[in-house]
Amino acid sequence: MQSREPVLGALTWSAVLMAALSGLLLGGCGRGQQPLAPPVPEVAAVTVRAQELVLTTELPGRTSAYLIAEIRPQVNGIIQKRLFTEGSDVKAGQVLYQIDPAPFQAALDSARAALAKSEANLPAIRSKAERYKTLLAEKAVSQQDYDDREAALKQAEADVQYWKAAVETARINLDYTRVTAPISGRIGKSNVTDGALVTAYQAMPLATIQQLDPIYVDVPQSTTELLRLKRRLEDNRLHQNGKDQNTVKLILEDHTAYPLEGALQFRDVTVEPTTGSVVLRIVFPNPEGILLPGMFVRTVVKEGVNERAILIPQQAVSRDPKGNPIALIVDAEGKIQQRTLTLDRAIGDKWLVSSGLGLGDRVVVEGIQKVRPGVSVKVIDVDASRKADAEPGSPSRQTGKAN
């Protein structure tokens, strides 16, 4: 046992010396080599260019009839017959209800008879008045007798006029027994049936007619948006292009586009105090009757034309800790710089930039996570790559055809 311990100790020290020698040799070799430089990161960028852009605003609205007429009787009576089909289209002047005309016909006949009686008495009274005038000149009658005859003549003439008016009133009332449509349009359900008693100018309408072609769309617009639009026009950031400015598109409740365009008729001059908005009234043609009163729709209203709009992909914009939108650009020296942006709105998959970028700036859209401000990068121009891919004979196009 005593002879083995010195042998093991010698082996252990030999191993330690060999390991130390190996470390020194490797260290000496490493001092002669230079460390490898990190690779330059690559980023994809787009070049900022100005373009003409038509700015629109999508606003909710509700349809309403172009004309509405509530049908009410103008005389008292019993409904003899309803002369229309509920839900059908009617024409102006079409008879809708017939009220029992018998009492009104009798009143007209009575008034005509009274008029005839008054007209029959008038010539004799006029003749007598003229004779008394002659006799008065000869002093054969007194002035009082003449005045009595003259008054009788005027009374007879007034009676004739009175009964003429009575005849006209009776005729009008008789005509009112035929309840007609004041406008053309689509009539709804009837609130009365045959045999119902109606009164003149009653509160409940007999039926309602609505003209649906054309049709109104009423759209509320906030005064904030209205003032913002006005400032843009004053600053020449937007230009309105005449008649085309008033054209409006419509999106239906099922998210489909209405095939016909409307025209902006006017903006209301009164602000609704509860909502802080004004109403835009738009007229849409509705020949097929697709639009019905009370439907919720969305309108695309043109604000104007921005002739120098700057659009960048949404993926190029991020947020700083305060929530401000920022973007990274590549300067002339190939280094990353950070810009704080002012965004107007989203246009599809892009942001409309109001300030923070200039024409010709190269905005990083891919590789943002790999870089920071001040770092040198290698730039791949996205627009140039797409243009090359679109050229005939390019590898990408040939691959696409092969697939």
* pLDDT at residue number 234: 66
Judged by DSSP in three states, 335 sits in strand
- For residues 331 and 375, give the distance between their C-alpha atoms in angstroms, rounded to a whole number: 11
Under the banding of pLDDT at 50, 70 and 90, the label for residue 141 is confident
What CATH number does the domain containing 92 carry?
2.40.50.100
Under the banding of pLDDT at 50, 70 and 90, the label for residue 149 is confident
Q: What is the mean pLDDT of residues 304-311?
A: 84
Least confident residue range of 78-92, 128-142, 248-262, 376-390: 376-390
Residue 229: inside a domain: yes
- For residues 9 and 33, give the distance between their C-alpha atoms in angstroms, rounded to a whole number: 38
* pLDDT at residue number 217: 94
Under the banding of pLDDT at 50, 70 and 90, the label for residue 391 is low
Spell out the long-range contacts of 336-345 with Cβ–Cβ below 8 A and sequence spacing 24 or more: 336/43, 336/364, 336/371, 336/372, 336/373, 336/374, 336/375, 336/376, 336/377, 337/373, 338/373, 341/317, 343/317
**197 and 78 fall within a common domain:** yes
Number of domains in the chain: 4
Contact 56, 62 (CB under 8 A): no
Write the pLDDT tens digit of every residue in 200-221. 999 999 999 999 999 999 998 8
Q: What length does the chain have? A: 403
Residue 60: inside a domain: yes
Write the pLDDT tens digit of every residue in 71-124. 999 999 999 999 999 999 999 999 999 999 999 999 999 999 999 999 999 899
Q: What is the mean pLDDT of residues 25-39?
A: 56
- For residues 157 and 376, give the distance between their C-alpha atoms in angstroms, rounded to a whole number: 111
More confident residue, 5 or 320: 320
Q: What are the tokens at 239?
A: 């230009």
How confident is the prediction for the chain on average, in pLDDT? 83
* pLDDT at residue number 398: 38
Residue 5: inside a domain: no
Residue 346: inside a domain: yes
> What domain range is 79 assigned to?
73-99+180-204
* pLDDT at residue number 233: 65
**118 and 223 fall within a common domain:** no
Least confident residue range of 59-73, 77-91, 297-311, 385-399: 385-399
Under the banding of pLDDT at 50, 70 and 90, the label for residue 131 is confident
What CATH number does the domain containing 164 carry?
1.10.287
Q: What is the mean pLDDT of residues 162-177?
A: 96
For every residue of 181-203, DSSP letters joined together read: -SS-EEE---S--TT-EE-TT-S
